[in-house]
Amino acid sequence: MAVSNPKYQKMLENLLKVCKKNLTKVDEALITKAFEVSLEAHKNDVRASGEPYFTHPYEVAMIVAEEFPLDDITIISALLHDVIEDTDYGYDFINREFGKEIVEIVDGVTKISGIFRGHEITKAENYRKLLLSMVKDVRVILVKFADRLHNMRTLEFVNPDKQRRIAQETLEIYAPFAHRFGLGKVKWELEDLSFKYLNREAYEELARKLKAKRNERESYIKKFSDPIKKKLDEENLKYELNGRVKHLYSIYRKMVRRNKPFEEIYDLFAIRIILDTENKNECYTTLGIVNQIYLPVPDRFKDYISIPKTNNYQSIHTTVVGPEGKLVEVQIRTRQMHEIAEKGVAAHWKYKEDKTATDNDLENWVNWIRDIFENASKEDQKKELLENFKLNLYQDEIYVFTPKGDLKRLPVGSSPVDFAFEIHSKVGFHCIGAKIDGKIVPLDTELHSGDQVEIISSKNQHPNKNWIKFVKTQKAKNEIRKWLNKEEQSIVDNGIEIWEKKLKKMKLSFTPDDVLQIAHANKLDNTRQFYKAIAQNLLNIDQVLTANTQKDEKEFEKDAEFKKFANVARTDIGGILVDGKNSGILYTFAKCCNPIPGDPIIGYITVGEGIKIHRKSCSNLISLTANDASKLVNVQWPKAERSLFVAGISISGKDRPGIINDISHSIVTYQNTNIKSININTSESTFEGSIAIYVTNLDHLNRIIERLKKVQGIYNAERFESS
């Protein structure tokens, strides 16, 4: 079954050429055989584009060979990955002709393809199967990455509904997978292609704007890079310096996250310095050179060389203020680090001295994936499992240490309770407090990379429902929920027993519907809450059985309580923490950005007004930083602060009778929120204006905005940025 067609002969030669270039060992005969079998198997099939179907497995094999060349087994599996599913060739044939290892990889890819054809209701369970099948052999998912990447590159030939479904699936599942495997280049392309089909208008507009400024961008990158190159040359460092604009989806996410137009996204530029050396110290030398030339931005420095990411990614990231005050991200890494960042697992294999040794890094990653799912409680609903899966894939990590110096990886925002459950479930159940670097802290304290954490436990301590509000790891959430459910059931059972004894004593009888009506009359959602309230002595059974509804009076009391609240509303503020301490230093809040609790903040030392507190995203702060970054200080909101802050909301909509009343009602009925002022201007049949309200934090403000958007006739409601 030799290849006689000159076109296919040329394709085979190209594939073998790339394999020889990128792989340490190539079985040419077996690759040729797989090429011939795939060509023969698909000879009567045509793709949606009109091309012979064989072009797909061929291109998938080329992607594997170029993007993540692991071994020739993966190349052969890529050529054959659709043979079992789409043709008359079976498992026995592939096993007989190519061996058990290849047939298992092809089988794994086939099963993953089938997983995504399920209905919505089974989707979450299918994602679980996907991962558990993937971890048996890493090459299964590498072939699937290549398969998905080629499908995305040729997505234009399928119908729009299918385009959106495949693009959404790619964005939510395959791109995060690629990130976890360290396949940076593949992740970016998958994200951009998904973005193109999910929001073509935004994609094309961004692409057009980037293209229009290409010359200007290239000129700027040269202006930025030349002083660095000069210094690197003086130090006799061997390097490659590349300037690039961030990929489209990354820019779009920044625009959405910051609520800024393209023209106001300043950190579009990224410079990568790749050093031709095996000496990691030269990366730090290069960092010193960059920081001597350009002012580094505080809080934008990451050292992934000292502590690599789970996917073995290593690099130094820093952001500096370049010419004209523009922010530029600089990445510094060795050639080996760069290959691992681009090609992930495959490159990691390349640099291992003992090619047959167990890969501990990959095993740790695989165990991490297993842990997400094996610790998921059976009670979890399928949709919740899917959400948890997405969350774990997207979160970044922090690195904290036990008192003995063992390193633990946790999601950003984790607490000592997450850390305790990471050590052992029993430690989590009985933790009563924690020490960070020797200092006792509350259990909801946010951990940061580098913290050394010691758990204080007591056999009398048990989880409480407040823990669910601040824990981040799925393991902690599941264990706490299991304990609370068990504890709650015993309380409910106790309540049922008390209720039934009372009814028996009073010779009364109630149907389940009667009990539900009594529960509702006492402002409880269901009978379970009713029995629980009885057990906890929150309800007096005698009063429950004889009480009359006094709804009108209670509503009157509620109105009176609000009026009282409105009269005492204050705006005095106290307790801002400077470097984690309540130091009593004089400070004021910047009028340019009006920060409120929940906003990321930073302080700027002024003359006469102490420390001026800004939101970190404040454009004025960026200008100030460019002049003198040494005046910046770390500040934090206190945990228990309950002061009131003035926040502005800009609003517009269709004018109608009663609109002001509806707007006011939607605000004051949420947590007795007090209005400071309303300014509305009408023009013909529309209006626009601003509202100043007193809020306790950012979540409070966001909830009010959500309520306003639901008022009939409101076109837009958003946070007002005063100048």
Catalytic sites, residue numbers:
85-86
C-alpha dihedral sign at 555, 560, 563, 565: negative
Instruction: Measure the CA–CA gap between 339 and 70, rounded to whole angstroms.
Output: 13
Q: Report how far Cα 548 is from the mean position of its chain's Cα atoms.
A: 50
Residue type at position 148: R
Categorise residue 181: left if φ over 0, alpha if ψ from -120 to 50, beta otherwise: alpha
Instruction: Measure the CA–CA gap between 703 and 422, rounded to whole angstroms.
Output: 33
Give phi and psi for 635, each to the nearest 5.
Answer: -130, 155
Strands 327-334 and 269-275: parallel
**Which residues make beta-bridge pairs with 674?**
694
Contact indicator for 81, 104 with CB cutoff of 8 Å: no
Give the DSSP letter string of 131-195. Answer: HHHHTT-HHHHHHHHHHHHHHHHTGGGS-HHHHHHHHHHIIIIIHHHHHHTT-HHHHHHHHHHHH
Instruction: Measure the CA–CA gap between 236 and 217, rounded to whole angstroms.
Output: 28
Contact indicator for 646, 594 with CB cutoff of 8 Å: yes
Residue 648 burial (CB count, 10 A): 19
Categorise residue 236: left if φ over 0, alpha if ψ from -120 to 50, beta otherwise: left
Exposed e or buried b per residue across 602-636, where buried means at least 16 C-beta atoms within 10 angstroms of its C-beta: bbbeeeeeebbbbbebbebbbebbbeeeeebbebb
Query: What is the tally of helices (H) and strands (E) in the chain?
Result: 31, 21
Residue type at position 99: G
DSSP state of 255: H
Length, in residues, of the chain: 723
Nearest to 80 by CA among 61, 62, 96, 99: 61
Residues 6+ apart with CB under 8 A from 69: 19, 22, 23, 75, 343, 346
Residues 6+ apart with CB under 8 A from 357: none
Give the DSSP letter string of 515-560. Answer: HHHHHHHTT-SSHHHHHHHHHTTSS-HHHHHH----HHHHHHHHHH
Nearest to 290 by CA among 374, 340, 227: 227
